[in-house]
Structure 1
Amino acid sequence: MTSNVGNRALYEDGDQKNVPQSEREQPDRFKEGQPNSHKALDSKDERSIANKLAREEKRENEPEGENSEEARESKIDSTLPARMHGNEPSKGAKIDQQLKEEEEAELKKKGAFGPK
């Protein structure tokens, strides 16, 4: 039986074939084993408990990194991280800084807060 619908060219696969997998361009693979690629507390991570404990011990002994300097400075001025990155501080950061300054002024007035 033959079909009476359409032209024979409609059913030929000339331009409808997919390129074989072997001929496709392969994207560069992401480098395996990137540092900090595991989340420390990921429940789906298959590392053993011993490996997790060893990593936490190592992390405790590591010197503080770049982020910790920014964290220390943000404790002094909560608007500083945003300004360091060239952004306007959020409303919450501005309010936090204002409250912090008010509390420090109150403590200085009472004599319970000294310069650090």
Structure 2
Amino acid sequence: MAGNHGFSGVYEQGDQINYGRSSVANEDKHHTMNVEGYRPKDQNKTMNKMLDEDIQDEVAERYKHDPTYRATMHGNEPSRGAKADAEIQREEEELLRRKKEKTESMPGKKM
């Protein structure tokens, strides 16, 4: 017996989507929309939209901070320049972390 099972309102692109109350409440905390009062079909569409926005934000953030991510995202090997930039970035972060550790351990430092 092939085909979809359940209500047609909870299907989108062949996948069944059911969001629990806890996941709806969790997304409400991060977005300005309160979808708890929506009908189940509308609630699922809105939840999908909010989750897509979260994923797009994460990808955009990685594009900004990881020079090799764009190439690897498209299945390519990063260029030598991107690899060099990533190495420099890692070295600078390590240097800043060591500096911060030194200054935090200084006696008489005000917090």
TM-score, structure 2 length as denominator? 0.37
- Bigger relative contact order, structure 1 or 2 (CA pairs below 8 A, ≥6 apart): 2
Higher helix share: 2
